[in-house]
Structure 1
Amino acid sequence: MTEDERRAIEQDCERLIKHYVNLNDAQDWPAVAALYAEDARFARPSQPGVFIEGREAILSSFLARPGRAQRHVIANTVVDVEDADHARAFSVIVLYMGDAADDGGLPVQGPKSPLIGTFTDKLVRTRDGWRFAERVGGLDFRP
């Protein structure tokens, strides 16, 4: 693999991670789930040892959550390319959460906000592009 090919994979994978965060904040759950491989595994930062297995189950888990005002900030992303079809990534995440304001204005930030943690990802190239094969979250501080 050339340096240009490696850098292209890194960029594609980092874009996937950033796209995921934007779709998550928009609460576009079908689009979020579509970024996972069919047989992917996902563990939320609040439950890093509890895996949800398969794209459909991941979608169902997002659909079952009550809506909330939220904004994720992702940073310090490093992608390590294993080969032309596999990569790993590590990112730091900050999650701001809140409730809708009674007056229809800006949401009110919740008392457990922000949450600070990480995502460790296994990424795979599919016929549809790069997707998450495994996404494991973790928290760095208790709320």
Structure 2
Amino acid sequence: MDEIQQLVAQNEIRNLVARYAHLVDDAQVQPWSELFVEDGRMEAWAMPLEGRPALVEWITGVLAGPTLRHIMGGHHVVVDSDAEAHGTADMVLLAAVEGSWVVAAAPRYVDRYVRTESGWRFAERILEDRSAKS
């Protein structure tokens, strides 16, 4: 894979991560779930989730709670091959409280990506708790 192909892959993966945040914030559950491969895995707050049905059930529960907003940044992508990559992305999770946004958490995602016929998808997303320490 040459440098141009690597840059294109990195850009596509960064867009995948941004789309993840936008779709969940807009409660677009089905398109959000399709950002994962069919047997995609996610670990959220130490809860393992495997496959799209488990992901849909989990995110539906999340969306039934307080209104949230995901701000993604600090994204690092390593392209391992034409079909695989890995990376990390920091997140600031905001929660709506009395008409204002307040910081609810600031975790990090540790990701594995695979290229499919539909483009890059999440094979695995692990949400690492990065709670503030005094």
Paired residue for 2:88? 90
Letter in 2 for 1:7: L
Paired residue for 1:71? 69
TM-fit CA distance, 1:14: 0.6
| Residues 104-119 of structure 1 mapped to structure 2, 5 A cutoff | 107-109=99-101, 113-119=103-109
Q: Distance in 1 between matches of 2:101 and 2:7?
A: 38
- 1:67 and 1:114, CA in 2 relative to 1: closer, same or farther beyond 3 A? closer
Letter in 2 for 1:124: V
CA deviations over 1:63-105 (Å, ceiling 9, x no partner): 2331422111111101000000100010110001125x5xxxx
> In terms of mean alpha carbon deviation, does 68-77 or 117-126 score higher?
68-77
Number of aligned residues: 132
TM-fit CA distance, 1:120: 0.5
1:9 and 2:6 correspond: no
Paired residue for 1:21? 21
1:62 and 2:59 correspond: yes
Letter in 2 for 1:63: T
Task: List alignment gaps of at least 5 residues for structure 2.
Answer: none
Task: List alignment gaps of at least 5 residues for structure 1.
Answer: 102-106
Which runs of 4 or more aligned residues in structure 1 lie more than 2 Å from their structure 2 counterparts after TM superposition? 107-110
1:141 and 2:127 correspond: no
**SS of corresponding position for 2:107:** strand
Identity of aligned residues (%): 25
Q: Distance in 2 between matches of 1:59 and 1:3?
A: 36
Structure 1 length-normalised TM: 0.85
Which of these two proteins has the greater Rg computed from alpha carbons?
Answer: 1
Q: Distance in 2 between matches of 1:61 and 1:140?
A: 21
